[in-house]
Structure 1
Amino acid sequence: MPLSEEELRLLEQMERALVEEDPKFASTLRGTSLRRTARRRAIAAGAVFVLGVCVLMAGAITNLWVVGIAGFVVMLGSATIALNAIRGQQAAAAADASRTAGHPSHGFTVIDGGRRPRRGRQARAGRSTSGSFMERIEERWRRRREENGGF
C-alpha cells in the first residue's frame, strides 16, 4: 500500500532528525556496507577463479578430463559471481552519489511509496494500433524526449 503525502513528509522529517542526532548510525544505513560486501564478494570470486584455474591445469596434466571440466565450471561460476559483484558495487556507488547530491537529508531518499504511474484507459485509448512498427517506435521516442526535457 503506497504512503500518503503526509506519511512521506513525516518519514523525511524522521530521517533528517536521525541524521542530525546520530550521523554515524545514519552513515551506516546509507549503503556503504553494500559496496564493501560487493568488494569482498568480488575478491573471494577472484580467489576461487584462481583455484578453478589450478584444478583445470591439474586435470590437463593428469589427463583426467572430468577434473578439467570441474575446474572450468568453477572458473565460469566464479567469473559470473565476480562480474555481478562488480556491477553491484558500481550500482551502489552510483546510488550513493545520486543520493548525496544536494539532498537535504544527506543521503536518505524518500521513495514514492512504491507507486508506479498507472496507465488507465485514457493512456491506452490514445495509442494507435493501425501504425507501422517504426511509426510506433518513433512516437515512443518523441514522448520520451518530451518527458525528459529534450534529452
Structure 2
Amino acid sequence: MPLSEHEQRMLDQIEQALYAEDPKFANTVRQTNPAVHYKRSIVQASIGFVVGISLLMGGAIFQQVIVGVIGFVVMLACLLWGLSAWRRVAGGTAEAAAEPQGKSKGKSSEPKQRRRQQRPGMMHRFEERWRRRQEGDDK
C-alpha cells in the first residue's frame, strides 16, 4: 500500500531530522543492504554444514555414535539456516521489503494471483454458500 502525501512528507521530515542529528548513523543505515547479511549467512551455514559432515564421518570412522549424532544435528541446523537465508536472498522477505510495490526483482506474483482467481479459497466458498442460502437459492 503506497503512502499518502501527508505520510510521505512526515517520513521525509523524520529522515531529514535524522540526518541533521546523526549523519554518520544515517549514512550507515542507508548503505546497509540486507542481501549482504543473508549472503554472509549462507556462507557461514555452508561452512557449518561441511563441519557437520566432518563430524558425522569422524563419528562413523572412529565408531563414536555421539559424535556422529552431533554432526548430523549440526548439518541439519546449518541446512535449515542456509535455506532460510537463501530464500530471503532469492526474492523473499528482505528484497520485497526493500523494493517499492510492483517493482520486485524476484519471482513474479502473477501466478499466485491467477491461481487465486481461478480457484477461490475455502472462506470464499463458505461465504458464497451462505449468501445463496440467505437468498433462497440453496441447491
TM-score range normalised by the length of the shorter chain: 0.5 to 0.7
Query: Is 2:9 the partner of 1:10?
Result: yes
RMSD: 3.9
Percent same amino acid at aligned positions? 26
> Is contact 1:31–1:96 with CA below 8 Å preserved after alignment?
no
Which has the bigger relative contact order, CA under 8 A and spacing at least 6? Answer: 1
Structure 1 alignment gaps of length 5 or more = 102-131, 140-151
Aligned 1:1-151 pairs, distance under 5 A: 8-14=7-13, 28-29=29-30, 32=33, 34-89=34-89, 90=91, 91-98=93-100, 101=103, 135-136=125-126
**1: CA distance between counterparts of 2:127 and 2:61?**
56
Mark the CA change 1:134 to 1:11 in structure 2 (over 3 Å): closer, same or farther.
closer
Normalising by structure 1, report the TM-score: 0.51
Write the letter of the residue equivalent to 2:126.
R
TM-score (normalizing by structure 2): 0.55
SS of equivalent to 2:52: helix
- Provide structure 2 residue ranges, at least 5 long, that are not aligned to the other structure: 104-121, 130-139
